[in-house]
Amino acid sequence: LEKMISGMYMGEIVRLVLERLTMEGLLFSGVDRECELFVRGRFYTKYVSEIESDHDEFFRNTKQALDELGLEGYSSEDCKIVKYVCTLISARAAFLSAAGLATLINKINKPNMTIAVDGSLYRFHPRFHNLMCLKMKELVKPGLKFQLQLSHDGSGKGAALVAAVATRLRDNKM
């Protein structure tokens, strides 16, 4: 599941889809196979967030990412397809994350919950939070309310919390 939702892998998933579309002649006609689109790990997740931040038909961020990959001669239609692929992969990751959290909320079954979320994808992607919330509202049982809260350094704080609880449990047994 981590590879389907993590920011560490999202860029590579998009790259693989774009590579396949290119190999099948549906994208970037006549592209040089030596460009960095065909290099594993070269399509960064930051490109996905930047591309999805394009709000007009000029595709400034999309073009910048494609330029950095060494692509030339791409069309506006190519830019639309790249943005669409990024949108689909982002939505898929947000919906999978939402499904996992909604399952936990439904299982815990408390009327009000706040969930701390950490990670650069959640923090920097322009739509990830909203996509997660929309899907969770569909999946969480009626009457249960939740809130997603950005947490900075969640893993460090989580490790400290676990250590504190373990120490308290150990001290109470003595």
Asked whether residue 78 carries a pLDDT value surpassing 70, the answer given is yes
* Residue pLDDT, tens place only, 83-135: 999 999 999 999 999 999 999 999 999 999 999 998 888 999 999 999 999 99
90, 113, 133 — which closes off a domain? Answer: 90
Claim to verify: residue 86 and residue 7 sit in the same structural domain: yes
Q: Domain tally for the chain? A: 2
Cβ pair 9, 120 in contact under 8 A: no
Same domain, 74 and 106: no
Q: What is the CB neighbour count within 10 angstroms for residue 139?
A: 15
Q: How many CB atoms lie within 10 A of CB 115?
A: 14
60 with 124, same domain? no
Of the three residues 41, 67, 90, the one that is the final residue of a domain is 90
Range of the domain at 165: 95-173
Q: Which of 90, 125, 153 is the last residue of a domain?
A: 90
Q: pTM for the full model?
A: 0.84
**How far apart, in whole angstroms, are the C-alpha atoms of residue 83 and residue 52?**
6
136-173, pLDDT tens digit by residue?
999 999 999 999 999 876 566 665 666 667 777 777 87
Per-residue confidence (pLDDT) for residue 172, from 0 to 100: 80
pLDDT in tens, 38-53: 999 999 999 999 999 9
Query: Taking 60 as the threshold, does the pLDDT of residue 6 lie above it?
Result: yes
